[in-house]
């Protein structure tokens, strides 16, 4: 968490704005399970709760990202020096992001946007179009399939991942209609399975502890109109059709997971 000293002046005087979902109050509507992992205490432990330490944490965070950008620049310069930059496809991604105080949380892992999203940049020197963004759903599970596709290797049918290459060639296309987010790391109370499409995200927290008044909880977010996930629609009657649709997608994903699990043989 310590940036290279050569970047100490980068973001030195920047004052970062807080997102609309910053702070503890912005997390009160979320399931109790979301507050039962390391993410909840790290809001305080990592200094997001105080203005001065918040700004310090955000500066370090962005200095680290700047350092990654700098390192990638060195790699790109070397590719050009070796005259292979026009014959090299670059795929850049990373681990998922930090909450940085959103919903009163620190760290990452939970399925909310700030802790679940990852960057993804693909550069194919054969594509002459300018830099473009795509709104199509993709996941890190798709990266391996993409590499195989570019290498001319058949993608095994057992793979859940799909090649992102069609999106590079046509950003308006789609490679998948839904995407699961699987969280089975850390305390069992924070384990959950999430399914999202291009508009809604459905989270099912299945942990139960009646002695602590904790029961399985559903969350439904309209990530198109509510990207900061400030309103849980799961208990609103007018969204019952959307909830039912996402529940069915969840069941389908869960059954797929169970089916694939049985086929795995560990050696």
Q: Which tens digits make up the pLDDT trace of 131-145?
A: 889 999 999 999 999
Average pLDDT, the chain: 94
User: Does residue 187 contact residue 33 with C-beta atoms inside 8 Å?
Assistant: no
- Residue 265 above 70 pLDDT? no
d(CA 96, CA 117): 6
**Is the model's pLDDT at 117 over the cut of 80?**
yes
pLDDT cut 70: percent of the chain above it = 98
Residue 264: pLDDT band by 50, 70, 90 thresholds? low
pLDDT at residue 267 is higher than 70: no
Spatial separation of the C-alpha atoms in residues 145 and 137, rounded to whole Å: 15
- Cα–Cα distance between 33 and 30 in angstroms, integer? 8
By CB neighbour count within 10 A (0-12 exposed, 13-18 middle, 19+ buried), where does 147 fall? middle
Tell me how far apart the alpha carbons of residues 75 and 115 are, in angstroms, rounded to a whole number. 28
CA distance 253 to 195: 8
What is the mean predicted confidence (pLDDT) over 183-212?
A: 96
The model's pTM is 0.93
Average pLDDT over residues 50-59: 97
The answer to whether 48 and 57 have CB atoms below 8 angstroms apart is yes
The pLDDT assigned to 128 comes to 78
DSSP element (H, E) containing 218? strand 217-222
Read off the pLDDT of residues 179-191 as tens digits, 9 standing for 90 and up. Answer: 999 999 999 999 9
- What pLDDT was estimated at residue 2? 87
The reported pLDDT for the residue numbered 261 is: 74
Distance CA(220)–CA(194), nearest Å, equals 10
**Res 187: pLDDT:** 94
């Amino acid at each position: 968490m310590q940036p290279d000293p050569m970047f100490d002046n980068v973001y030195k005087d920047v004052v970062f704005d807080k997102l609309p979902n910053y702070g503890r109050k912005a997390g009160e509507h979320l399931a109790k399970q979301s507050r039962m992992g390391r993410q909840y205490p790290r809001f305080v432990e990592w200094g997001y709760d105080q203005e001065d330490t918040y700004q310090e944490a955000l500066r370090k965070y962005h200095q680290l990202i700047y350092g990654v950008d700098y390192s990638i620049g060195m790699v790109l310069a070397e590719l050009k020096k070796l005259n292979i930059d026009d014959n090299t496809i670059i795929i850049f991604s990373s681990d998922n992001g930090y909450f940085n105080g959103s919903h009163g949380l620190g760290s990452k892992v939970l399925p909310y946007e700030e802790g679940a999203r990852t960057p993804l940049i693909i550069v194919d020197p054969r594509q002459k179009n300018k830099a473009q963004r795509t709104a199509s759903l993709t996941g890190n599970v798709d990266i391996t399939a993409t590499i195989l596709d570019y290498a001319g290797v058949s993608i095994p049918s057992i793979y859940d991942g799909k090649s992102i290459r069609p999106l590079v060639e046509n950003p308006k296309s789609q490679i998948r209609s839904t995407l699961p987010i699987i969280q089975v790391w850390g305390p069992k109370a924070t384990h959950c399975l999430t399914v999202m499409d291009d508009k809604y995200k459905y989270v099912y927290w299945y942990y139960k502890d009646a002695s602590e008044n904790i029961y399985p909880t559903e969350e439904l977010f309209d990530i198109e109109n509510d990207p900061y996930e400030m309103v849980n629609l799961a208990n609103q009657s007018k969204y019952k059709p959307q909830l039912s649709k996402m529940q069915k997608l969840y069941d389908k994903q869960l059954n797929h997971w169970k089916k694939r699990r049985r086929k795995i043989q560990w050696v």
